[in-house]
Amino acid sequence: MTLSVIIPTLDEERTIRETLARLQRAAFTEILVVDGSSGDGTVALVSEAATGARLLTAARGRARQMNAGAAAAAGEVLLFLHADTVLPPTAADDIRAALNDPDVVGGRFDARLDRDRGLYRLVCGMMNWRSRLTGIATGDQAIFVRRTVFEAIGGFPDIPIMEDVAFSKRLKQMGRVAALRSCVVTSARRWERHGPVRTVLLMWGLRLLFFLGVSPERLHRLYSDVR
């Protein structure tokens, strides 16, 4: 079972080196970094941090970049990894084990923040519980999917925000979605910048408005990128 890792980037020089360095290259068929016209040192760092990683460029937008990476990938399984998220050492084996069940169409990992204490730990516990209960994953949980299923769904919708939630809704309609208990570690930078309580309320509010039909374009104006 071949496995492609797809990492969308935009001005991620602070995080991309560690993310790539921690990938066990032998465990994956290929690693593709899809850059959306970074203005910092991201592109230069990619070749330094991971020998053999392919660097692609695409129109800016996480959904567009991930779809471009999927189109260029050779793997039977596609793993979408945020540039500020580190996979567990067992990631490839965990994915293959889950997909040995032919009824499983894809899945995601549990997640914890790199500030794993107090309220941050509670936030992650709630996020993982909610995801397991609803079957909906977010991008920082490292979503993976069989290529055939990805193509049948039509990839990520071309929207500026909530593309991961929309994709997850379509994915669980295709079959069983694995909720792996092994953890990815993602940056707490947004939580530290805006505070955990305010960030939780913002994310819950955005998700609720999305489900109520508010356009992603309007929601995106409420969501500020943090790098």
Between residues 76 and 51, which one has the greater pLDDT? 76
CATH class of this structure's domain 3-110+136-182: alpha beta
Question: 31 pLDDT band (50/70/90 cuts)?
Answer: very high
Which pLDDT belongs to residue 52? 76
Q: At residue 226, does pLDDT exceed 60?
A: no
Give burial (CB, 10 Å; 0-12/13-18/19+) of 199. middle
Q: At residue 49, does pLDDT exceed 80?
A: no
Give how far Cα 124 sits from Cα of 83, 173, 186, 227, Å: 18, 25, 10, 20
Q: Please give the DSSP secondary-structure letter assigned to residue 57.
A: E
pLDDT tens-digit series, residues 99-145:
999 999 999 999 998 876 667 788 778 888 888 999 999 999 999 99
**Per-domain residue ranges of the chain:** 3-110+136-182
Spatial separation of the C-alpha atoms in residues 22 and 78, rounded to whole Å:
18
Owner of token pair 């001005």: 11
